[in-house]
């Protein structure tokens, strides 16, 4: 067992490489000295001699050492470095911001400033945890994004370059040629994977995950909480409307368990925001999780382990939009899941933005600016709760509260608790789903306490204080522990 922030365990890497173990996909990469190529552990090619390989923590480290990506296993399509390594929250936040294109628009000093550290310290952290500098990580991310669009779409190369974060077509062409020895057009011609024929403005991407993965639990969770008019689950497909910085659209996501991947179809009138959409889909379905590390952490509690080991593929559901989840959490205070879903549908009907007839869903969820002015008398819910929604919306609209990846979970929880009408359960639920906080704990959740009582006290009532005591053994994976306990029948 290892973690990207540590020195790689050579014996573990060798065994995973020899067995082509999908559980290690994206956790390390293999450089082949005789060819100058780096591969994923699951690469289908014949294995070279072990004396001719070297292991790297990340694709960026392999690239920085002069290796180029394999055209067969396509490192750009791997699940990537696990975001929550459990060792550096700063690096985790930085990786999420890079995935959102944040460093494309800022110099390194400004980027480090957003993270609250110096440029020098940021470089030190990246080299320690990822084996490469922030600039090398950004360049690799940009290259991988471009390669995916070259391989999986028919977009003109100018759009590929711009959508991947390159500042000019020339820089894009030079980087591709320097890395692969081929121009982008030549690279597209030698691509072996067949591109799908799709409707205009439709794109399909395959998003790998590390097994095991409990797709059905995630789908059931999202289905029960699907906001009418905005999202739905039909025939094992999750569909929802999406708003991006440049255009509205929709996504449809399904699972291919035989190939350890989700299939994501994106309807979007402009490709500029494709990778923003992809990153958000990854977060909704927790594709960055490393099950082995999480399971190792939860194994220390033998009582909890009795149920965890039966369902090792549990994930924590994320969210498309943090503000939308905040509204959901407030609406859901002290009422059933079904009741909260009904109220969310009423909010959308009354305040949502109607989409064109051809859209897969009817509405976009209302913006903070719209709900900042909502009529608290108009909704079928307690006025105090409606007023809380308005207060949160006003804070977001004014820029005083945000749910972006620059936030430390603890910082956002503190901000939320300062708003009248938001308690610990609401703040923790928002952190869990909006920021993918792995150690969020739904303090005071009655269902969690009831089911924990089944597990720990043979049905006797467990109070919040006792649950918090048990939960100390689940750190830093309390959100995952809660999912397992919630799943108890």
Q: Model confidence at 463, in pLDDT bands (50, 70, 90)?
A: confident
> Tell me: the pLDDT tens digits for 246-271?
889 999 999 999 999 999 999 998 88
Q: What percentage of residues in the chain have a pLDDT greater than 70?
A: 93
The pLDDT of residue 282 is 95
Pick the CATH number of 1-193 from 3.30.390.30, 3.90.950.20, 3.40.10.10, 1.10.1520.10: 3.40.10.10
Mean pLDDT on 229-237? 95
- DSSP per-residue codes, 173-206: HHHHHHHHSS-HHHHHHH--SPPPP--TTEEEEE
| Domain definitions of the chain by residue range | 1-193, 202-271, 322-440
Looking at the predicted structure, is the pLDDT value of residue 179 above 80? yes
Mean pLDDT, all residues of the chain: 90
C-alpha closest to that of 71 among 249, 178, 192, 168? 192
Supply the residues annotated as catalytic.
39, 445
Q: Which residue has the higher pLDDT, 322 or 101?
A: 322
C-alpha–C-alpha distance, residues 166 and 484, integer Å = 42
- Say whether domain 202-271 belongs to CATH 3.40.630.30: no
C-alpha–C-alpha distance, residues 207 and 121, integer Å = 32
Mean pLDDT on 168-184? 95
> Tell me: the pLDDT tens digits for 53-101?
999 999 999 999 999 999 999 999 998 776 554 456 788 888 888 887 7
In the CATH scheme, what is the homologous superfamily, with its name and number, of domain 322-440? Hypothetical protein; domain 2 (1.10.340.30)
Q: Which residue has the higher pLDDT, 95 or 396?
A: 396
The pLDDT of residue 104 is 65
Exposed e or buried b per residue across 381-411, where buried means at least 16 C-beta atoms within 10 angstroms of its C-beta: beeebbebbbbbbbbbbeeebbbebbbbbee
């Amino acid at each position: 067992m290892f973690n990207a922030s540590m020195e790689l365990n050579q014996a573990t890497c060798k065994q995973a490489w020899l067995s082509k173990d999908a559980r290690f996909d994206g956790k390390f990469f293999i450089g082949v000295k005789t060819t100058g190529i780096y591969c994923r552990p699951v690469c289908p090619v014949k294995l070279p001699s072990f004396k001719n390989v070297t292991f790297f923590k990340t694709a960026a480290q392999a690239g920085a050492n002069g290796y180029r990506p394999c055209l067969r296993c396509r490192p750009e399509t791997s699940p990537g470095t696990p975001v929550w390594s459990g060792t550096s929250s700063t690096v985790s936040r930085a990786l999420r911001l890079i995935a959102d294109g944040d460093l494309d628009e800022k110099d390194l000093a400004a980027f480090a400033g957003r993270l609250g550290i110096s440029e020098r310290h940021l470089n030190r952290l990246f080299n320690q945890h990822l084996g490469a500098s922030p600039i090398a990580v950004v360049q690799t991310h940009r290259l991988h994004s471009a390669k995916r669009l070259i391989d999986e779409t028919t977009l003109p190369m100018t759009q590929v370059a711009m959508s991947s974060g390159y500042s000019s077509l020339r820089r894009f062409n030079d980087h591709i040629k320097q890395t692969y020895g081929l121009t982008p057009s030549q690279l597209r011609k030698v691509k072996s994977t067949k591109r799908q024929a799709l409707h205009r403005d439709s794109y399909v991407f395959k998003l790998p995950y590390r097994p095991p993965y409990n797709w059905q639990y995630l789908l059931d969770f999202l289905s029960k909480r699907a906001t009418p008019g905005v999202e739905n689950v039909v025939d094992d497909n999750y569909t929802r409307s999406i708003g991006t910085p440049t255009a509205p659209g929709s996504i449809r996501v399904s699972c291919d368990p035989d190939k350890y991947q989700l299939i994501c179809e994106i309807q979007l009138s402009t490709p500029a925001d494709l990778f923003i959409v992809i990153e958000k889909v990854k977060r909704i379905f927790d594709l960055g999780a490393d099950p082995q590390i999480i399971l190792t952490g939860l194994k220390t509690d033998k009582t909890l382990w009795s149920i965890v080991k039966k369902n090792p593929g549990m994930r924590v559901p994320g969210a498309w939009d943090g503000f939308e989840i905040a509204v959901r959490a407030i609406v859901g205070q002290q009422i059933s899941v079904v009741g909260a879903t009904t109220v969310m549908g009423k909010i959308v009907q009354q305040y949502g933005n109607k989409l064109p007839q051809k859209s897969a869903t009817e509405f976009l969820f209302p913006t903070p600016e719209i709900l900042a002015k909502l009529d608290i008398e108009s909704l079928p819910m307690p006025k105090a709760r409606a007023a809380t929604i308005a207060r949160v919306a006003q804070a977001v609209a004014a820029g005083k509260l945000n749910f972006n990846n620059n936030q430390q979970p603890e910082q956002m929880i503190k901000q939320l608790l300062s708003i009248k009408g938001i308690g610990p359960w609401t703040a923790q639920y928002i952190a869990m789903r909006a920021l993918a906080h792995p150690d969020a704990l739904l303090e005071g959740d009655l269902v969690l306490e009831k089911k924990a009582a089944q597990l720990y006290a043979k049905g006797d009532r467990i109070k919040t204080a006792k649950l918090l005591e048990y939960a100390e053994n689940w750190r830093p994976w309390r959100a995952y522990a809660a999912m397992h306990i919630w799943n108890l029948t």
